[in-house]
Structure 1
């Protein structure tokens, strides 16, 4: 048995046997849990369920979910693991970034989770500015609708903060509190930065600017240090602080930190690269990375949502002509087939600008379709064009990465079902980036990354690179 590097007092040396590590990923549309053997690197279990916690709203701009339902789904997955859960020594959590909820002094949720898709920050504030634009103008921090601090600012101004709210936190922090029995959330910098008004260099929220905007600074939870954990479960499992799903997906997908770039296409989409320094530029965020360093990330508001919009269009066309597909039948499989046919046929492609949901910098941006001719005005070409448009938007963001980082890229990893389940997207990315596309052998990359991080925090590995090397999980896609 290999040496276990013990850096946490929670672990009893008499129990140093094969240890399992678990990762829970709280996504926008699904929640999953993976269990890995930290000794062998083998996958022990993987479970997933749809995230059906969405809440109805009379406001078209509001996107909210029920945190109690999310926690119940996570508890259900743990229950299904049975005796396997008993061998877990550490639990990691990744979660959808930017969203925020409020908890009371006992750690109980007293509000919905306002997700990253919430658009209240785009509502008019005054003087022709939105809430998000006003905050950005007053603070100098890059902000957008959906960021937790923008949501909080709106709620403060509109009297929507619950009277018994003691802290604001992310959904990952809330699940970590539930697992560890804590009453006070402890926020990892990767999630703290996603809320906005956070200084990565100082590792803290900018309380002065919060106060200047009329927001109570005391509602901000403590920010975790590099060696901190959220707590322990009743039976002694270490619960690592929740980390952002972008960072977790990076950990769960790349074969090494340096020299790797990640393309993630799920409900949204990001393109990311690791950097030792925070080289943020317009359109690129410098997100704190668990254990140190930064993940430079360009984020699209579309990604998988864009493909879902196209599926809805085709469904509407079918219904309009009396050939409605069954509600339970997805059209994605046929769409993927059509895209492959279009790719094999060749010929002039449609040029699609895929910003149908706006962009971070311009929420009013719209999509467009150009290059239409009598040879390509077909459904299959539209599917191919939309996929290419999603890829082009991400690659355009990657052009803003520092040259010193782009020049050393040796590996392009991909994660998310928008890539994994779509061979055409894999091929488009390979052609446009000029690199083979590497897919993790683990389908739930964010949950896997969270488990890997939990192993590091528990002392099963001396650091992130050692954990990545141990699992050796990437395999190349050659089309």
Structure 2
């Protein structure tokens, strides 16, 4: 039994923790806002999402340094890393980052390519015959789609370069090694062959790209390096501390939230959201994403862009009314006010219905949000907030219904909720529970993805036989 650090390189925040597998407790936790976005106002209009990857790594180092100070010289057995599994960074021939991190919210591939066809539509036309192999619908913000856009528009930017995922870039810095990925992250690129466990060279070639532009793949839950002496001097964690290969945040969150894989349904709501179930065998489907899980098995995932990002749209709208109409600029408790007003509205929002897909969906990027059923009695801020929350929850129940229709997915007995959207919004928690007609349970510890990353590092150095054993041993729940 030992102590492990898990680090989550997230969109909104960068978080880390120390967990103790003997006491089954999180001993320390640190989090800092991820304020490294550098997208200009002009580029935001174009749908770009760009981040300073070196600043993200500095923020991650600050979290690790705080954890090292908090550890009081306790021995750290290993470090695990997770983070945004979509998006990419370009590396030059010296494996130094030579581009911003282009994130999962980037929409440049929805620009028109030719003959009123967008880049994404052109890519999807190429990739549709490979869907059963890759398990995912190619979408804007994925590594392969972004590389395709760069190849078509600024080909010189990717000449003599390779690409990597943000969490793998962090591991590379920690260990002083070339960034390496695992299947859970690789699959998020959109060109990973689930059947062979390798990059799909034929699909990559048809996109006009090279396999060498994609990172090397190692098995999940394996050690890929150790903290370098240079990094140790910065973060205060001893050099030689093992570091496991980074894993995708969806899979890490599942491993850090679910103790009984085959009987649980996980709803994770953060900036976006997913509903996930574990499958021990591959189930081909064109309706939902199939993602490799850590070591073995798969996750069947309904991934939406609705979540905290959607609620923020309403928050910003109300804030703008306050500033432009009433001259009120300081509204620090606006989310709490929206939740209070929404709680005063009956379930069903008196007929007001919201589809909170304000930036499109992965399947339909041009789709936009809707409020319908507006009447003289339900056109209030409270009704708008309540209906939006109900719309977020409805998205996940629809995904779960699609899972049932596919076949091969047994009814899950436990509904698990994770992510800050679930933890910090009691009304959303209740609405999700009501939507699934069952009680919702949350893990005892926050930062579930970081917990999953830490557990993956414990598996990597041999404390547990596999990740399922690690989750079963460590995960506990709140039952209030």
- Normalising by structure 2, we get a TM-score of 0.91
The reply on whether 1:407 has 2:393 as its aligned counterpart is no
- Give 1:362 deviation, angstroms: 0.9
Residues 171-223 of structure 1 show CA distances to partners (whole Å, capped at 9, x for unaligned) of 000001011110x2211111111011111111111122212322122111111
Q: Which residue of 2 aligns with 1:30?
A: 13
RMSD: 1.8
Distance 1:86 1:120, change over 3 A: farther
Q: Which residue of 2 aligns with 1:105?
A: 93
Secondary structure at 2:438 match in 1:
coil
Q: Matched residues in 1 for 2:2 and 2:184: separation? A: 26
Indicate if the aligned counterparts of 1:20 and 1:35 stay in contact, CA closer than 8 A. yes
Q: Which residue of 2 aligns with 1:212?
A: 206
Q: Which residue of 2 aligns with 1:12?
A: none
Residues 411-443 of structure 1 show CA distances to partners (whole Å, capped at 9, x for unaligned) of 111111111111111111111101210111111
Which one has the bigger helix percentage? 2
- Give 1:226 deviation, angstroms: 4.3
Q: Matched residues in 2 for 1:233 and 1:457: separation? A: 15
2:191 pairs with 193, 197, 201, which one? 197
- Give 1:269 deviation, angstroms: 0.9
Indicate if the aligned counterparts of 2:91 and 2:98 stay in contact, CA closer than 8 A. yes
Q: Which residue of 1 aligns with 2:142?
A: 147
Distance 1:405 1:86, change over 3 A: farther
Q: Matched residues in 2 for 1:246 and 1:376: separation? A: 36
Question: What does residue range 123-138 of structure 1 map to in structure 2 within 5 Å?
Answer: 123-138=111-126
- Normalising by structure 1, we get a TM-score of 0.91
Indicate if the aligned counterparts of 2:257 and 2:475 stay in contact, CA closer than 8 A. no
Gaps of 5+ in 2: 132-136, 229-238
Q: Which residue of 2 aligns with 1:6?
A: none
The reply on whether 1:468 has 2:471 as its aligned counterpart is yes
- Give 1:349 deviation, angstroms: 3.8
Q: Matched residues in 2 for 1:165 and 1:278: separation? A: 36
Q: Matched residues in 2 for 1:267 and 1:330: separation? A: 19
Question: What does residue range 110-259 of structure 1 map to in structure 2 within 5 Å?
Answer: 110-140=98-128, 141=131, 142-159=137-154, 162=157, 165-182=160-177, 184-226=178-220, 228-234=222-228, 235-259=239-263
Distance 1:388 1:128, change over 3 A: same
Q: Which residue of 2 aligns with 1:396?
A: 398
Secondary structure at 1:348 match in 2:
helix
Q: Which residue of 1 aligns with 2:67?
A: 81
- Give 1:240 deviation, angstroms: 1.1
Gaps of 5+ in 1: 1-17
Q: Which residue of 2 aligns with 1:281?
A: 285
- Give 1:449 deviation, angstroms: 1.1
Residues 41-76 of structure 1 show CA distances to partners (whole Å, capped at 9, x for unaligned) of 111110000001101333222101011001000111
Deviates more, 1:395-404 or 1:167-176: 395-404
2:306 pairs with 302, 309, 312, which one? 302
Secondary structure at 1:400 match in 2:
helix
Q: Matched residues in 2 for 1:448 and 1:146: separation? A: 26
Indicate if the aligned counterparts of 2:8 and 2:450 stay in contact, CA closer than 8 A. yes
Distance 1:158 1:413, change over 3 A: same
> Aligned residues, how many?
457
